[in-house]
Each structure stands twice: as structure tokens, then as C-alpha cells.
Amino acid sequence: MQIKKIVFLLFPLYLFSQTVYSQEIKRKKVLSLGEEIPTTPEEEQFNEQLIKLLKGVVQNGYNNRQGQDHPAKRDAHAKQHGCVAAKFKIESNIPSKFRKGIFSTKDEYKAILRFSNGSSELKSDKVGDAHGMAIKILDVKANLLSYEEANGELNTQDFIMIDHPVFFLRNSKDYLPFMMARKSGPEGFKEWLKKNPYEADIITKSISKSPTNPLASQYWSQTPYKIGDKSAMKFTAKPCTGQNFIDIPKEQRQDNYLRDALAMNLARSEFCFDFFIIPQRDAKQHLIEDSTVEWPTTWKGKNNIFKVATIYIPKEQAPNSSEALKICEELSFTPWHGSEDFRPLGGINRTRKKIYLELSKYRNQLNLVNPSIPSSDTWEILLPK
């Protein structure tokens, strides 16, 4: 509630901040479709400082969870609702210009899905939060990113998504001040919110989600990716129409009700998501280097969202079993697992590149586990016995 009050009182500053930012963009080089700004030494320096801060978040959580399984959790999306096996079926009628990477085939891929809360804390599901769905597609052989970029995982395509269409920070240089404000305590964070009403408004909307069921939410990439040589996309997954969900009544929800709802629904039925891409149409309006800007699903009166796949989740799985949760806990999900055709773009994704690698290594080190490279055998373990 405190964040909402601050945003309401200071929202008039939003228009001013937008005007200033628009002027800043105009002073910079105008990018072409699918083009990003090269990494700068300043950005690299910010990332190194950010890694140190986020390792502190992981370390603090580890210190507070001694005696638990895998006490070192992710710096974000620490709490998982379940881990499931799925099939990622490519559409047969994708427009030719979007037939890149795995979309160039008509194959059906095995996939692993992880559903999670957004926070670094293992808090109650009854508290509003952002929520994630991470997809790991297995046995991918299409024009993969380099060994160093993919953290040594050379057979997968990851799609990372959140249940809000935009990220709350524009680019990588905004990340460090945000994390330093959080580290400084409640008063320091309130001060940051006052100075950044535009971002504060997005944060409020993002962390106010209280879904009934992870299978019933829509998820977005938030950040952009290449699709071919001179084009970019964002992507989204929507629950297939006509599905019937069993929801836990609000008065009966426990702290882990999203985990319970996921297991309860998959026990009785299979479910699916439609997977879409949203291509970049105008480099000046659909910005690569500003992840707070939502790209439109219609453009100049025409459709601008295209279905490229369907995600099928078989029934009778046990997504919250200790075995299933262990699998996803030890896997690494990152935008940098995948094809050169879908290279992550923009400052936020460039920041994620090294951070995800370093934090995954650090988490495994604290938990005394080796990096987990997924295979078809991993997928089979998740299926009903």
C-alpha cells in the first residue's frame, strides 16, 4: 500500500520524466529494426557491481535457510510452484519471414516448464507478486549461441516470461541504482520510488498480481530478441481458450496455494498454452533499449501477433513432488540458452548474460551441486509413472 500511495502522489512527475527521457533518446543514434547498442565499458562496470550485490542477496538467503534442501535460492523467482514436462509443437503455417531457429521446423520438441513467484524471498502466495513461467526446450540443434554465451548448455532453447507485459527498468544502467536503493533499506527504497515515479508505477502493477492458478495466467518476455538478421520480436504465452480450471476459493488459500492449484489441475486434465511472437515494426517506437515499452499487437490497423507454437502439458504429473522440484531447482534458465536466430537484445538482456552465469555458479557452489545439463531422460522423469 505504501508504494501505491507514493506513486499516486508523485504520478504528475511521470509526464515530465517521460519528456526528459524522450529528449535523451532523440539525442542518441537512431537504431534500425533489430539493432541494439553495443556493450560499453561503463555497462560492464555496472554489471560487475550488480553481480556483487546480487551475490549478497543469494548469500543472505542461504544463511537464513541452513538445514533446508538447496538453501541457496535464485536472487529472483526463488519460490517455485512446480516443474512439469511439456511438448512444444511448432505451427505449420508460420509466415516465412518468422521461420527462424526452431520456428523453421514443423517439429514437436520436449520441454521443461518452471512456474515461480518473482521475489527473492520464499513468501506466501497470498502476498501480491510477479510470477514467472520459464520454458526449456530440449534437443535443439539450430544455429546455437557460443559455448561461452550459453554457459556451456548447447542443446536447449529457453524462453523466460513474466505475468506482466513490460519490465520495470529501461536498461542496464538503471539496474544498479535500483538494487543499491533496495539494499539501503525501506527509507532508501522509498526515496528511489519518489525519484522514479514511472518505474514505481510499473513495479506496483507488476507485484500486485494474485493469480488463481499458474496455468490460467498470460506470460510475456518483456525484453526483445532477434528473429533472423534484421528483425526483432517479443513473445507471449496465453492459456488456450476453452479450458476449465479448478480454483481454490480465496478463503481456503494457504501460503502455497499456487503450488496446490497447479498440482490439483494437472491431476485431472492436460492443459495448453498458445505461444505467440510480436514483431518489432518501428525502431523509434518499439524500442530495443527500453524494456518498459510494450510492443503493440496491432500495427497500422493490421494484426501484429502471430501464433508460432502450442505448449501441451500432459495430465497426471506431480509438479510439486520433491523429485520434480529438485530438477527445476538445479536447472539453469537464461535468455542466453538458445539459437543465434533468437539472440537476446537490449541492455537488460546484456546484463542478464553474465549475471545469470555468475549467480548460477555461485548458487550451485553454495548448494554443493554440479551444473545440471538437461536431457530427454530428465524430461521422462517428470512424466506420470
Which DSSP string do the residues of 50-107 spell out, in sequence order? HHHHHHHHHHHHHHHTTTSSS----SSS-SEEEEEEEEEEEPS---GGG--GGGGS--
Residue with cell 536431457: 375
Strand partners, 309: 90, 275
Strand partners, 83: 114
Are 341 and 100 in contact, with CB atoms under 8 Å apart? Answer: yes
Q: Helices 12-27 and 197-206 sit at what angle, rounded to 10 degrees?
A: 110
Whole-number Å distance between alpha carbons of 247 and 268: 13
Whole-number Å distance between alpha carbons of 108 and 127: 37
Whole-number Å distance between alpha carbons of 174 and 347: 10
What is the pLDDT, as a whole number, of residue 296? 97
Sign of CA dihedral 117, 122, 52, 199: positive
What is the pLDDT, as a whole number, of residue 151? 66
Would you report the helix, strand and coil content of the chain in percent, each value rounded to 5?
35, 20, 45
Whole-number Å distance between alpha carbons of 6 and 190: 8
Sign of CA dihedral 105, 330, 356, 211: positive
What is the pLDDT, as a whole number, of residue 105? 84
What is the pLDDT, as a whole number, of residue 24? 45
Are 72 and 363 in contact, with CB atoms under 8 Å apart? Answer: yes
What is the pLDDT, as a whole number, of residue 145? 80
Mean pLDDT, contiguous 10-residue spans, the chain (385 residues): 46 42 49 92 90 93 90 94 98 94 92 96 95 96 72 86 97 89 91 96 95 97 93 97 95 97 97 98 95 97 98 97 95 92 95 91 93 90 89
Are 83 and 327 in contact, with CB atoms under 8 Å apart? Answer: yes
CB atoms within 10 A of CB 12: 9
Residue 132 CA: distances (Å) to CA of 119, 254, 358? 10, 20, 21
Which residue, 368, 328, 381, 334, is CA-closest to 152?
Answer: 334
Q: pLDDT of 220-262, one tens digit each?
A: 999 999 998 889 999 999 999 999 999 999 999 999 999 999 9
H or E segment at 271? strand 271-279
Q: pLDDT of 264-292, one tens digit each?
A: 999 999 999 999 999 999 999 999 999 99
